[in-house]
Amino acid sequence: MHEAMVAQSIYEAIADQAKIQKAKPLAAKISCGVFNGLNSDALCFAFEAISKGTVCEGMKLAVEQKPIQARCRKCDEPFKFDLHQPTCPTCRGDDFELLPDAPIMLDEIEFEG
């Protein structure tokens, strides 16, 4: 289960920061691309199970999926790719490349106090 491995990594990063900050973590924000196959509900469930009985128990995780990005080959402008209108919003060109999917990132941790 991909989500369990990701949840374990997130837990370790948050627990390490909790030691450094000497504070209890309350919430964290995770971001990822839409193609990474991460199921938000499964990730939150796995994190809850891993963090039981630890400083991270009871934390809230928010997962934000970043949109697919593309770059127009005609005008070189990056844009948010829309499957229903697969054209560059700047020049209306239809020759583009999809950019790499956003990685899974721990963007923010909120601590008590």
User: How many helices and strands (H and E) does the chain possess?
Assistant: 2, 6
Tokens of 31: 């971001």
The pTM (predicted TM-score) of the whole model is: 0.83
Tokens of 108: 């923010």
The one-character DSSP state at 87 is S
Phi/psi region, residue 9 (left: phi>0; alpha: psi -120 to 50; beta: rest), is: alpha
| 91 neighbors 77 (Cβ within 8 angstroms) | yes
Query: pLDDT above 70 covers what percent of the chain?
Result: 99
Q: What is the CATH number of the domain that holds 59?
A: 3.30.2320.80
Which residues form the domain of 59? 2-111
pLDDT digits 0-9 by tens, 5-52: 999 999 999 999 999 999 999 999 999 998 888 899 999 999 999 999
Q: What is the number of structural domains in the chain?
A: 1
